[in-house]
């Protein structure tokens, strides 16, 4: 706007023109940067939209099948045997034992209430210094159990490697597995997916990305 035209306008009109010019400038700046002032994602609080997102991703687990560090659904590592029995109905538990370094310890096979024909989850107990039996390992073979990222039995190894920070791949009590020492979780790999005569330890980058996960091990 020329200075001559401003001088000829009344003072009030000049002020209004300057304000409108400033507003237009700020709006253009916001549009060019891709930002929309005060704009929010209304879907975040929309229950229908949340349901649609869950339906679009069937790998997202419910709370009873969510795997996270130290937890698998209602189970928590280091919980006592009595806590375990209180949380899981007796009809879903079958008492058994397991061997570790020549010693025999108590264990349970836990069936799934929703799908009793699904592979049982194996629960290893070990006595603490006071003699109280506590949950020390959880072996998962049921594909219903998954992380928040949707990773579980049946997922490709590459998905676990990219999302869960695997530190090494080695033999474990559950089989050859990718191990994340940061969260004490291991991802058992289908032996048919591995190279023939592979070493006892491998770099995660050397494992075929399409290798299938056959089990998940949570340990303490």
Beta bridge partners of 180: 185
Average pLDDT for the chain: 79
pLDDT confidence band for 36 (50 / 70 / 90): very low
Return d(Cα 214, Cα 157) in angstroms, integer: 10
List Cβ<8 Å contacts ≥24 apart for 30-35. Answer: none
Highest mean pLDDT among 15-19, 70-74, 161-165: 70-74
* pLDDT at site 111: 97
pLDDT confidence band for 12 (50 / 70 / 90): very low
Q: Does residue 209 register a pLDDT over 50?
A: yes
Kindly provide the residue ranges of all beta strands, DSSP E only, lying in 66-118, ordered along the sequence.
67-68, 71-72, 75-76, 93-100, 103-110
pLDDT confidence band for 162 (50 / 70 / 90): confident
SS3 209: coil
Return d(Cα 97, Cα 122) in angstroms, integer: 10
Name the more confident of 32 and 194: 194
DSSP 52-71: HHHHH-TTS--GGGBEETTE
Question: How much is the average pLDDT of 80-91?
Answer: 96
What are the residue ranges of helices labelled H in 94-202? 157-163
SS3 214: strand
Is residue 91 classed exposed, middle or buried when 0-12, 13-18 and 19+ CB atoms within 10 A define those classes?
exposed
* pLDDT at site 59: 61
Q: Answer whether CATH 2.60.460.10 is correct for domain 63-219.
A: yes
* pLDDT at site 194: 86
**pLDDT tens across 104-118, in order?**
999 999 999 889 999
**pLDDT tens across 127-142, in order?**
999 999 999 999 999 9
pLDDT confidence band for 1 (50 / 70 / 90): low
Residue with tokens 């996960």: 213
The radius of gyration of the chain's CA atoms, rounded to the nearest angstrom, is 29
**pLDDT tens across 165-191, in order?**
788 899 888 889 999 888 889 999 999
Q: Does residue 143 register a pLDDT over 70?
A: yes
Q: Residue ranges per domain, the chain?
A: 63-219
Question: How much is the average pLDDT of 48-54?
Answer: 43
């Amino acid at each position: 706007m020329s200075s001559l035209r401003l001088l000829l306008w009344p003072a009030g009109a000049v002020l209004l023109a300057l304000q409108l010019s400033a507003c237009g400038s700020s709006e253009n700046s916001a549009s060019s940067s891709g930002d929309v002032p005060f704009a929010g994602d209304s879907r975040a609080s929309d229950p229908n939209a949340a349901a649609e997102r869950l339906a679009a991703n069937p790998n997202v687990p419910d709370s009873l099948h969510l795997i996270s560090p130290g937890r698998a659904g209602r189970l928590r590592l280091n919980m006592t045997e009595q806590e375990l029995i209180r949380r899981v109905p007796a009809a879903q538990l079958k008492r058994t034992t397991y061997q570790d370094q020549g010693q025999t310890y108590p264990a349970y096979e836990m069936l799934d209430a929703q799908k009793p024909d699904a592979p049982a989850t194996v629960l290893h107990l070990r006595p603490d210094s006071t003699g109280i039996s506590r949950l020390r390992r959880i072996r998962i073979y049921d594909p219903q159990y998954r992380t928040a990222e949707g990773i579980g039995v049946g997922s490709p190894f590459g998905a676990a490697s990219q999302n869960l920070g695997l530190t090494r791949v080695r033999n474990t009590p559950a089989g050859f597995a990718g191990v994340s020492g940061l969260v004490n979780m291991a991802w058992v790999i289908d032996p048919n997916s591995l190279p023939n005569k592979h070493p006892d330890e491998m770099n995660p980058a050397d494992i075929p990305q399409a290798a299938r996960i056959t089990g998940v091990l949570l340990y303490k």
